[in-house]
A and B are shown apart, each in its own frame.
Chain A
Amino acid sequence: MRWNQADTDALITVMSEQVASLYDAAPPLLVGIQSGGAWVASALRARLPVEPPIGSLDVSFYRDDFDTRGLKRSVKPSDLPFEVDGAHLLLVDDVLMTGRTIRAAMNELFDFGRPASIRLAVMFDIGHRELPIRPDICGETLALPPHQRVELFGPAPLTAEIRDIRPEE
C-alpha cells in the first residue's frame, strides 16, 4: 500500500480539521519529532489558518533502547525557538506504534521547561502500543501485522508506504 502526495495531503487536511476543533482560541506551538514528524509538522503548519511557531526534537539522547541499540549515526540538534514554560504544545510524529518515542519526547520537552499542555498528533496510528499513550489527532488508523511498518518519505513530495521490517529491527 502506498500514499502519494495527494493522499498525504488528504491526511494533513483531516489532521488540520482536528487541530481546529481542539484549539478554538490560539493555535498550539508545533513540535515535530525528527525526521518524519518534523516533515508532517511543517506540512500541517502550512494548512492552519494562522501559522504557529514550529520546533523540532531529536529524541536520540532520551531513548530507552540505548543499551541495546546504541546511538543513532546522525543525531540532529533539537531546536525549540520558543519558550516551553506555560506553552500549549502539539507534539507531531509520522507513525505511532509502541509509544516509546513519545515517552522520550515528553521527557525531553520537560527538560526545556513546564508546558501548560501537550497533545499528540500523528499521521498514522499502527497499533501495537506498549505504553498508555494515545493520539489526540490522527490522520489514519491502520491494523498492521507485527512484521509490517509504515515508512514516510519527504519532506517534498511527502509519500508513505507499507514495508516488511528488516531482520535487524
Chain B
Amino acid sequence: MTLAPPPSSRVQLTEDGKLRHFLSVEHLPRSLLEDILDTAASFVDVGGRAIKKVPLLRGKTVVNLFFESSTRTRSTFELAAKRLSADVLNLDIAKSATSKGETLLDTLRNLEAMAADMFVVRHQDSGAPFFIANEVTPRVAVINAGDGRHAHPTQAMLDMYTIRHYKGGFAGLRVAIVGDILHSRVARSQIHALNILGAEEVRLIGPRTLLPTDVEQLGVTVFTDMAQGLKDVDVVIMLRLQKERMDSALLPSEGEFFRLYGLNNEKLRHARPDAIVMHPGPINRGVEIASEVADGPRSVILNQVTFGIAVRMAVMSMTISGQESNPDHGGDHGR
C-alpha cells in the first residue's frame, strides 16, 4: 500500500479554522501552532499537581492504533489521554488484525463500532493517517503519531515547546538539525514548524548520502561539516541514527559517523555558549551523541519527554473540541 499525502491539509481544519485532526504541521497557520503551545503550557502545570488529571475528556475513548511498534510515543500518548480522563485502548495492529488479513478499512469500521472518539495513528506508510482521517465517521478525531518518512507533528510541536520554553521565542534563532535527515519524519515536521513559527535560520547538517536531494526547497541551509554548521547556533537537534540503515550503503560505519557527526563537547563548542541540545529519543550513546553531552548541563532531552505529554494533551483536547464544535457535524450519529 502506498498512500501519497494530499497536497493540502484542509482536512485538518474546521470551516472556522479550528483543529479537527492533527496530521501535519505543514500549511497550518502560525496562530494555530501558537495556540497549541499556549494550551500545552496550561497542561504542563497539571503534571505537577497532587492529582495529575483533569476531567476534560471524561467519557471519551482514545484508540492508539499503532501499525508500527513504538514504546515511547505510544506511552506518552496513553499518559496524555489518561491525564485528560479519557479511556484508552492500545492496539498493536502490527501483531493483530491485519496479520489475519483484515483490511485497514475493516479494522477502522470495527473500532468505530466500539464508539471510539479519537484514533492516534502510527503507520509505516506516508499518508496513512490522512487516508484514515478522510474515511472516519464525522466526530472522530485523528492524530498522526508518525507516518513513514512524512511527518511526526506532535514530536515537532513538543520540540517547538521546548525551544520556546528555553529561548523565549523563535525570532532571531538559529537551529541546527543534525544526522539522518533523509529517513527522518521528525526532521521534516521540525523544518515546517520552525519556518512557520519564524525561526531566523534552519540548518541541516549531515553527510550528503543522508540528505534529501531537493532539501534546500524547504527553506533551509545545508552543511556537511559540523564545525561550520554548528557555528553560533542557539539550538542543536540531534536525530537518531537508525541502526537498520547502517546495513545499506549510505554510511561507512558507526565509528566513522560518530567521528564526523556525533555530538561531543568539543564539537558543541562551536555553538553559542547558551545553546541547548535536543534529541527525539531513544538516543544511541556513542553513535550520534556522546554521553558527556546527553547527560551534560545543556541537554534538555528529558525535559522534552515531560513537555511531550502536555503538548499531546493540548492536541488531543483541541481536536476533540474541533470535532464537537464543527457545524458540519451537528448530528449525534446515533451516540
Categorize the interface residue count of chain A: 20 to 34
Q: Which of B28-55 contact A (CB under 8 A)?
A: 35, 38-39, 41-42, 44-46, 49-51, 53-55
Closest CB of chain A to B84's CB: distance in Å?
8
Q: Residue B179 at the A interface, CB < 8 A?
A: no
Closest CB of chain A to B58's CB: distance in Å?
9
Q: Are A66 and B56 in contact (CB under 8 A)?
A: yes
Q: Residue B321 at the A interface, CB < 8 A?
A: yes
Across-interface contacts of B55 in A (CB, < 8 A)? 61-62, 107
Query: What secondary structure prevails in chain B residues at the interface with A?
Result: helix
Given contacts A58-B42, A61-B54, A76-B42, contact A111 B49 (CB under 8 A): yes
Across-interface contacts of A78 in B (CB, < 8 A)? 42, 45
Task: Report how far A61 CA is from B56 CA in the complex, Å.
Answer: 5
Q: Which of A62, A66, A71, A77 contacts B44 (CB 8 A)?
A: A77
Q: Residue A21 at the B interface, CB < 8 A?
A: no
Closest CB of chain B to A67's CB: distance in Å?
6
Q: Residue B317 at the A interface, CB < 8 A?
A: yes
Q: Are A70 and B54 in contact (CB under 8 A)?
A: no
Across-interface contacts of A76 in B (CB, < 8 A)? 42
Categorize the interface residue count of chain B: 20 to 34
Q: Are A70 and B322 in contact (CB under 8 A)?
A: yes
Closest CB of chain A to B132's CB: distance in Å?
22
Task: Report how far A61 CA is from B42 CA in the complex, Å.
Answer: 9
Q: Are A62 and B45 in contact (CB under 8 A)?
A: no
Closest CB of chain A to B79's CB: distance in Å?
16
Per-residue interface assignment for chain B, residues 303 to 334, with 1 indicating a CB less than 8 Å from any chain A CB and 0 otherwise: 00000000000000110011011000000000
A residues adjacent to B (C-beta < 8 A): 58, 60-62, 66-71, 73-79, 107-108, 110-113
Beyond the given pairs A61-B46, A61-B54, 19 more chain A to chain B contacts, judged by CB atoms under 8 angstroms and listed by A's residue number, are A58-B42, A60-B42, A61-B56, A62-B54, A67-B324, A69-B324, A69-B325, A70-B18, A70-B322, A70-B324, A71-B56, A71-B321, A74-B38, A77-B42, A78-B42, A79-B45, A111-B49, A111-B51, A113-B50
Can you offer 29 A-B residue contacts whose CB atoms are under 8 A?
A61-B42, A61-B46, A61-B54, A61-B55, A61-B56, A61-B317, A62-B55, A62-B56, A66-B56, A66-B324, A67-B324, A68-B324, A69-B324, A70-B321, A70-B322, A70-B324, A70-B325, A71-B39, A71-B56, A71-B317, A71-B321, A75-B38, A75-B39, A77-B41, A78-B45, A111-B50, A111-B51, A112-B50, A112-B51
B residues adjacent to A (C-beta < 8 A): 18, 35, 38-39, 41-42, 44-46, 49-51, 53-56, 317-318, 321-322, 324-325
